[in-house]
A and B are shown apart, each in its own frame.
Chain A
Amino acid sequence: MADPSRVSGDPALAVGVSIPRVDGRAKVRGRALYVDDLTAEGMLHGQTVRSRVPHGVLRAIRQDPDFDWSGITVATAADIPGENVVALIEDDQPALVPIGGRVRHPDEAVALVAAPTRARAREAADHIELDIEPLPASFTIEESLAGEVVLYGDDNVMRRFDVQKGQDVERALAEADFVIDGTYRTGPQEQMYIEPQGVMAAWDDQGACRLTGSMQCPYYVHKAIARLTALPPEKVVIAQSVTGGGFGGKEEYPSMIGAHAAVLARASGAPVKLVYDRDEDIGATTKRHPARVHHRLGVMKDGTIVAQDVDVVLDGGAYVTLSPVVLSRAVLHATGPYRCPNVRIVGRAVATNVSPHGAFRGFGAPQTTFPYERQIDKAARQLGIEPFEMRRRNMLELGDETATGQTLSYSVGGPAALARAEAAAGSAPPRELAPAEQGTPVRRGRGLAFYYHGAGFTGSGEEKLAGRATVALCEGGGFEVRSSSTDIGQGTLTIFAQLAAAALGVDVGLVRVPEPETGSVPDSGPTVASRTCMVVGGVVERAASALRRRIEAWADEQGIDAPMDELGRRAAGELGEISETAQYSPPPGIEWDDDSYTGSAYAVYGWAACVVDVAVDLDTYEVQVERCIHAVDVGKAIHPIIVKGQIEGGTLQALGWALWEHVAYERGSVVNRRMTDCIVPTFADAPELETIIVEEPYPHGPHGAKGVGEIPMDGPAAAVANALEDALGAPFDAVPALPEHIARALAQAERAPVSKNEREVIS
């Protein structure tokens, strides 16, 4: 056994401390290489020719005979060496629409062009004409459900999930004192990462294909490219380049753009770089799923929730992609962090002729959090119960059971988050105060939202993934963490260095965490689902501990007594590189049944409460968020500044979704494809965010840490809508609430003064 006195690195020095980001220096000095910075000898630039028709049959692809095609490569589906499919969950999406094949949305890739310059590639793409025989198309959830245009199966429903708990929900609702009945709509949202999508591809003399690009999940791309190229896995190498933001937008789409770059590089025999312009990126890549949720909430006079009946419909877009998984998470979060004996949830994802909707921070949960937090708020308003008190009476506590029958036995941070937010918020400002601007009539209001977010993959997902990570002692005595978890700005490289250093007992500076490349790193699972720190970080910690034990055992054998950094140097000198790989194993007591949708939906949950104060300008209907208090339970903040950054970034993204972000479509095609019109908030739009980190440790996470990436996105939109109702006395049941919508709602309220409870059923 190693002598514990040998421990030189105090874990407390590495964890819970905001060390300088390991990637910070290169980024600040402009030395980090993003994909568009990469170049290679003889490199060509790629361009994509898209369908521009929402639905139809591709009859022909014609190259303008009068155009000078010299030096230009054109590739189509016929040039794909393997299967023409972007492999993900189902094999329904082609990489390129083949002749005779179906075009299913207006931004579908049909042909590819490579040329020595971007300008020439663009010009050549403009000289390719597509002959597409149009078919009737459908663009909305309602049109899809009406089923006049059948795009998937026989009813357009790509996936359905049912959750059932307690007695018959209709009977429970009939027995409730009040039923709040509402329909809620949330819109698409663009991730708007600063760096657009891009991949560079090259084939070597041995016929291997190498891709380097901006991405979240190298092994997703690996799986897709292996099938597309019909290459054995070892002949496909996927490397992540420094990535300028993802937010879910670079979860599945890199397989598509990667497929295109790979096909072009093979057809042209040269390295090909394919980087989207902003307008192409906004037009073609994934958005948050638009949703329609019908929610009925049964409550008793004292505020007790007795029943929830939730019908969730997501617009999946033209192909299945990740919609079943997004829908699953939407469904599993649909009744909120509340005790409720009787539950029915029905979730459906439906097909439309719109570019597929996909992963975006929150991953379905924001779409169902908005409805239940509006419903709870309406119930509180109707019953005359103070909003915090209404949540307190119903919130899940230690030992309570969730909608899927999971008993919560640890790390329930809800009560603490709610209490901390309430204390920080203090009393609400008066409705009308001295106006902020001369002559401006202003109405003020306060809104609360309370929510939770399952960390990691759903159900048995993490067990099936069995994410692995390696920690190695390298030549010279340095350590290296090898995992496929990517740093997309959220701090993976830094926290992995911290976790490994703490477990090894060495200085953080001795730990290197390179950007992943398949083949050189084990598959840790994708960088999604708030799982990187909690799940993969835990695996890194275990691998580091195992390596430390091995080095210490060697030192014991050699009779060496020295601090770990010295042991590392000497062991490396004697043994060469040694490494340990660990694999995820689920905590005890986590069982999930996929057929009945019951059991432990997630190993642990993050919890949050958000208070928003708004001021509405009654002349312009613009909303100023004056305060936003966000208390989030993260288990343990490994790096407090990074955690705060995650919370504040997610909060602003959520406020953006609530108040400004409107992706406008016409016949399935995005109209506002530039940052001037596809609006996201700026710092001028944001209040000083009041962020409170709550730490209710997760016994099976590294140092107690659990997920933080997504939860800040879930609730602020509901808090904003609740604040708007508080300020204006009119219900706001859709996201976003643009000034145009507020003006219309107030005009309607003036024209037909109705009881604010008219929309609700009172039994």
Chain B
Amino acid sequence: MTAYLRPNTLEEALAVREAHPEYTILAGGTDLLVSGHRVPPPPGIVDLFDLRPLRGIARDGDGSLRLGAATTYLDVLSSDTGREELSILRAAAREIGALQIQARGTLGGNLVTSSPVGDTLPVWLALGAEVELSSAGRGARRVAYDAFCTGYRQTDMAPDELVTAVTIPPPAPGTRRFWRKVGTRRAQSISKLMIAATARLENGLIAEPRIGLGALADRPIRGVAVERAMAGRPPDEDTAARAARALAAEITPIDDVRSSADYRLTVATNLVARFVRLLAEPA
């Protein structure tokens, strides 16, 4: 028999987590229930869905945004807090599954499942997000998302920890944002590739570009070389071409049942170039 626990407070949840690190966490259940009959039943399930203290989006005193781990995609879509900064998160959330999935799937679940095709994950890279983890014994800590995902479906979360929130630093004025998912169709699809990007212009030159790439490696990755190729340059055709070349040199996507390596590479470079051109257009 599988044990089922539904804590009502964060303290209770952390205590359960410490006592039963072998139990599976159910955030929204959209991964767990789909794979349910293909894997052996876990010894226990800790259901965190609708755990109130972890749900919702709020602005902290320092201007950063704090998104609770139990926030659903539907919450993201209907929240008025940080609408401009979260435009690309909303765009990603809108394309995840259908309404039923959006009402159950959570930001924390997507982070911890840590699939290379997780649709919100490239957004955290582009927004410079940090992941907040908590445990009963050691309290809370924050890790940059870049360091949180440590490998294929691997994260930095310890066996006694839970992801409690994601935080996003206040953006520099004039920041532009870009999101594009290329899926197997226009709705309810698993991504072939995703690009989330932010940058701004400073005296006509590209400043602080951050490029998050999904489904192009064994985990969501930053396009570090692309960012270098763009930074400090005008958003023109030459820079677009340089960015595309830099990206081609830094990723080696794979062939799978959903797409081909060639296609992923070509489209990713096209979209990076598209982002550069977009920066030249008025906001």
Interface, chain A (partner B; CB < 8 A): 119, 438-440, 618-622, 660, 664, 671-672, 676-677, 679, 681-685, 739-740, 743-744, 747
**A439-B281, A664-B257 given; A679·B185 CB < 8 A:** yes
Q: Is B278 an interface residue (CB 8 A)?
A: yes
Complex interface: chain A residues within 8 A of B267 (CB)? 619-621, 739, 743
Q: How far is the CB of B269 from chain A (nearest CB, A)?
A: 9
C-alpha spacing A61/B62, complex, angstroms? 69
The answer to whether B278 touches A740, judged by C-beta atoms less than 8 angstroms apart, is no
Q: Which residue of A lies closest to B264 (CB)?
A: A740
Complex interface: chain A residues within 8 A of B184 (CB)? 660, 677, 679
C-alpha spacing A451/B17, complex, angstroms? 64
C-alpha spacing A672/B259, complex, angstroms? 12
Q: Which residue of A lies closest to B190 (CB)?
A: A676
Complex interface: chain B residues within 8 A of A622 (CB)? 182
**Which residues 232-283 of B have a CB within 8 angstroms of A?**
257-260, 262-263, 266-267, 270-271, 273-274, 277-278, 281
The answer to whether B185 touches A660, judged by C-beta atoms less than 8 angstroms apart, is yes
Q: Is B24 an interface residue (CB 8 A)?
A: no
Q: List 29 A-B contacts (CB under 8 A).
A: A438-B278, A439-B274, A619-B274, A620-B182, A620-B270, A620-B271, A621-B263, A622-B182, A664-B257, A672-B257, A676-B190, A677-B184, A677-B257, A677-B258, A679-B184, A682-B186, A682-B187, A682-B188, A683-B187, A684-B188, A685-B185, A739-B182, A739-B263, A740-B260, A743-B262, A743-B266, A744-B262, A744-B263, A747-B266
Q: Is B189 an interface residue (CB 8 A)?
A: yes
Complex interface: chain B residues within 8 A of A679 (CB)? 184-185, 189
Complex interface: chain A residues within 8 A of B257 (CB)? 664, 671-672, 677
C-alpha spacing A739/B189, complex, angstroms? 15
Interface of A is mostly: loop
**Which residues 166-208 of B have a CB within 8 angstroms of A?**
180, 182, 184-190
Q: Which residue of B lies closest to A675 (CB)?
A: B188
Q: Which residue of B lies closest to A441 (CB)?
A: B274
The answer to whether A685 touches B187, judged by C-beta atoms less than 8 angstroms apart, is yes
Interface contacts beyond A681-B185, A739-B263: sample of 18 additional A-B pairs, CB < 8 Å, sorted by A: A438-B281, A439-B278, A440-B274, A618-B270, A620-B182, A620-B270, A660-B184, A679-B189, A682-B186, A684-B186, A684-B188, A685-B186, A739-B182, A739-B267, A740-B262, A743-B262, A744-B263, A747-B266
The number of A-B residue pairs with CB atoms under 8 Å apart is: 62
The answer to whether A740 touches B277, judged by C-beta atoms less than 8 angstroms apart, is no
Q: How far is the CB of B40 from chain A (nearest CB, A)?
A: 11
The answer to whether A743 touches B187, judged by C-beta atoms less than 8 angstroms apart, is no
Complex interface: chain A residues within 8 A of B190 (CB)? 676-677
Q: Number of B interface residues, CB 8 Å? A: 25
Complex interface: chain B residues within 8 A of A620 (CB)? 180, 182, 267, 270-271
Q: How far is the CB of A703 from chain B (nearest CB, A)?
A: 39
Q: Which residue of B lies closest to A666 (CB)?
A: B257
The answer to whether A740 touches B263, judged by C-beta atoms less than 8 angstroms apart, is yes
The answer to whether B277 touches A439, judged by C-beta atoms less than 8 angstroms apart, is yes
C-alpha spacing A212/B68, complex, angstroms? 50
Complex interface: chain B residues within 8 A of A685 (CB)? 185-187
C-alpha spacing A439/B273, complex, angstroms? 10
Q: How far is the CB of B253 from chain A (nearest CB, A)?
A: 12
Q: Looking at B188, B257, B260, B273, which has the most chain A CB atoms within 10 Å of its CB?
A: B257
Q: How far is the CB of B180 from chain A (nearest CB, A)?
A: 8
Q: Which residue of A lies closest to B259 (CB)?
A: A740
Q: Which residue of B lies closest to A741 (CB)?
A: B263
Shortest 3 CB-CB distances between A and B: which pairs? Answer: A684-B187, A619-B270, A684-B186
C-alpha spacing A744/B262, complex, angstroms? 9
Complex interface: chain A residues within 8 A of B185 (CB)? 660, 679, 681-682, 684-685
C-alpha spacing A740/B274, complex, angstroms? 19
C-alpha spacing A620/B274, complex, angstroms? 11
C-alpha spacing A503/B273, complex, angstroms? 67
Q: How far is the CB of B38 from chain A (nearest CB, A)?
A: 9
Q: How far is the CB of A730 from chain B (nearest CB, A)?
A: 16
Q: Which residue of B lies closest to A660 (CB)?
A: B185
Complex interface: chain B residues within 8 A of A684 (CB)? 185-188
Complex interface: chain B residues within 8 A of A740 (CB)? 259-260, 262-263
C-alpha spacing A438/B281, complex, angstroms? 9
Q: Which residue of A lies closest to B255 (CB)?
A: A740
Q: Which residue of A lies closest to B271 (CB)?
A: A619
Q: How far is the CB of B275 from chain A (nearest CB, A)?
A: 8
Q: Which residue of A lies closest to B279 (CB)?
A: A439
Complex interface: chain B residues within 8 A of A682 (CB)? 185-188
Complex interface: chain A residues within 8 A of B262 (CB)? 740, 743-744
Q: Which residue of B lies closest to A686 (CB)?
A: B186
Complex interface: chain B residues within 8 A of A681 (CB)? 185
C-alpha spacing A619/B193, complex, angstroms? 13
Complex interface: chain B residues within 8 A of A677 (CB)? 184, 190, 257-258
C-alpha spacing A594/B185, complex, angstroms? 44
Q: How far is the CB of B232 from chain A (nearest CB, A)?
A: 22
Q: How far is the CB of B178 from chain A (nearest CB, A)?
A: 9
Q: Which residue of B lies closest to A437 (CB)?
A: B180
Q: Which residue of B lies closest to A618 (CB)?
A: B270
